[in-house]
Structure 1
Amino acid sequence: MLDRAVRMPRLLGPRLFPDLLSNDPRKGLRRWVDTNLFVPTWSDNRRGVLLEMHHDGTVVTAVDLSRNALPADRPQVELPVISWVLISAVFETVALAHEHRQVLHSEAPMDLQAVVQTRATDTRFTPVVLDFGRPEVSERARQPSALQPTFGELPPFADDQALVATGRELTEGLLHQFGLDMPD
């Protein structure tokens, strides 16, 4: 299902889910789960990803947006958010939710929500962007201590354009809280 779900055009960076997950979701309690977070040999050098597909059509993804955000020779920040990983994660989640809905033969619209959270209470999110192909802290961006969730709706019979529009709407809602625009 992961291979079918990532047909949407990538805006930046490589695909996340097929490269980081085994594409072999294990059946859990009323859901299917695929993750690299709980396997120590996988999570040491790779970005952490958790994917859950529930029997009721709910799709939950969690992605580590801070891992290896900046090269070692750059000053490190407390809570970096890699913008191109955020963009890819949102777009791939939209595509996966659409594929999961088709597998379940659901013809209802789907409500979507994108959230960026942390347990830390006194740190600020710092956006990391590509500057001439190199990761850099965005100097002119806001650094909020909390981000509001963004919401979207996926129509029942969504085509590729509707998937891209929904992914863009959710991503822009998160990026605008940093004062950043979607790359073209």
Structure 2
Amino acid sequence: MGKILENLHVTLVIGLVLTAGLMLGFHSDTYSVAVTFRWMHVFFGIVWIGLLYYFNFVQIPTMPNIPADLKPGVSKYIAPKALFFFRWGAALTVLTGLILAYLMGYEEEALTFQPGFQLIGTGMWLAIVMAFNVWFIIWPNQKRALGIVEADDATKAKSARTAMLTSRVNTILSLPMLYAMASYQSLPA
């Protein structure tokens, strides 16, 4: 069992097979498409927001305490890999959320804040703004800060600060976004 669990890809495949078994066992009609997209939306959202919180609650506060000779271990290996899953988690969360809203028939109403859809619409727009921040502010600045693209030391420092501040903005926005997303499903019809 240890050999199986040591391989992340095998672990994920086993989890996906178990999930597919549950889906097939409990949802065998067209409703299952919406359920599948809801599951994907939640899964990718956990990846995205989990990494957002990892960066803000663990990595950023810890970096000043890491000895200088050990920092490249984070900046050259851990951060780029985490940022890969972070930015694709953001993109796939938004994409699956928009598809889910379409499947459920409320995408236009939510995105235009129609009565009864303002809460979910607010959550959707917050997520879109956050994903924009990930792809167009945080990621380009992190590439410079981490040395993935060439930049002088002053540019790296400025880029690191910009990425960090934008990440903090996303942390702020994540709280009302999560409330809007979770609460919408709980509201009486």
TM-score (normalizing by structure 2)? 0.30
More helix by share: 2
Larger Rg: 2
More strand by share: 1
